[in-house]
Amino acid sequence: MGNIKYVGALLMTALFAVSIIVFSIGFGQENTAAFNLGDSEGFNDTRDSIQNNLVQYRTDVINSSNSFYESEISEGETVRTGGQFKVGPFTAYSAAKSTISQSFTTIFGKGAEFAYLLTALLGFLSFVLILYIWKTWAGRNPD
Amino acid sequence: MANLYTFPNMTAGPDNVLIGLSAEIPLIMPIFLLSMYMIIFIGGNISQARLRGYADPSLWSLTGLMTVFLMALLMSLTAGIINPIVLSVIVSLLIINGLWFFLSRGRFEQ
């Protein structure tokens, strides 16, 4: 199991967990259920904790992305700055981000309940993008 | 004729039948949900193994738990059908199963 698969599995688990909890609470509130998962403090805390972690994950990916963009390889048989590997994918990522954001907003609206899903997914796309550029540039295997 | 338990009031609507059953036999709904899960889990694994030569237990377990979760949500609309703890346990199992499912995926296969 490589870096991308492992991080992807954990991230998808977090998204899955918080989606189930939010859906369950929303279902109970909208249908005036006799009880719902929101009555339990534990699940509310878990939801808040996961959402904070997902936002922090995106921040970490942005910081790593910036530092990676500025990085150089000083030794070995490769291009030192790797600029030609970085420019294309970063531009393509911006286009994909705009497309996904529009589709996501159309489906889920601009409410805050599901906004963290888009945040986390875009963060994961950036993470995979960086690792694949690094794979092309430095010849390592993050799969 | 003697009965094993007191019959619920059948004329007050289906909700009252379920509430009456749960009041008389508290384990009836958890056992029903467990049987639904086992039918999907075992049936799915056996069918897939027969057709494809391999089974994907994490997928069928997740499918079974998702079904049970949705049924438990519907049961939570009316007080007295299932215990809130049962719903919490189902959600907890679902999240743990999600971890199992996602860690067992290949990057592009299946």
pLDDT at B110: 45
Q: What angle do CA A11, A94, A102 make, to 5 degrees?
A: 75
**Paired tokens of A138:** 């430095």
Comparing CA positions, the residue from B25, B57, B23 lying closest to residue B40 is: B57
Answer for the pair A58, A84: CB distance below 8 angstroms, yes or no. Answer: no
d(CA B95, CA A118): 20
pLDDT at B98: 93
pTM: 0.79
What is the greatest pairwise CA distance in chain A? 66
**Average pLDDT of the residues of chain B:** 88
Q: Cβ of A9 and B102 within 8 Å?
A: yes
Q: Cβ of A5 and B105 within 8 Å?
A: yes
d(CA A60, CA B42): 42
Chain A contact present for B76, CB below 8 A: yes
- Most A-contacting residue of B77, B78, B97 (CB-CB within 10 A), to test interface: B77
Q: Cβ of B73 and A27 within 8 Å?
A: yes
Q: What angle do CA B26, B30, B32 make, to 5 degrees?
A: 110
User: What confidence tier does B38 reach under pLDDT thresholds 50, 70, 90?
Assistant: very high
pLDDT at A113: 65
Answer for the pair A25, A38: CB distance below 8 angstroms, yes or no. Answer: yes
Backbone conformation region of residue A76, classed left if phi is above 0, alpha if psi is from -120 to 50, else beta:
left
List per-residue pLDDT tens for chain A, 143 residues long: 677 888 888 888 998 998 899 889 989 988 988 888 888 878 888 888 888 888 888 888 888 888 888 888 776 667 777 776 777 777 777 787 888 777 777 777 776 666 777 788 888 888 888 888 888 887 777 77
pLDDT at B108: 44
Distances (CA, A) of B43 to B37, B40, B57, B60: 10, 5, 11, 9
pLDDT at B93: 94
pLDDT at B8 over 80: no
| ipTM of model | 0.83
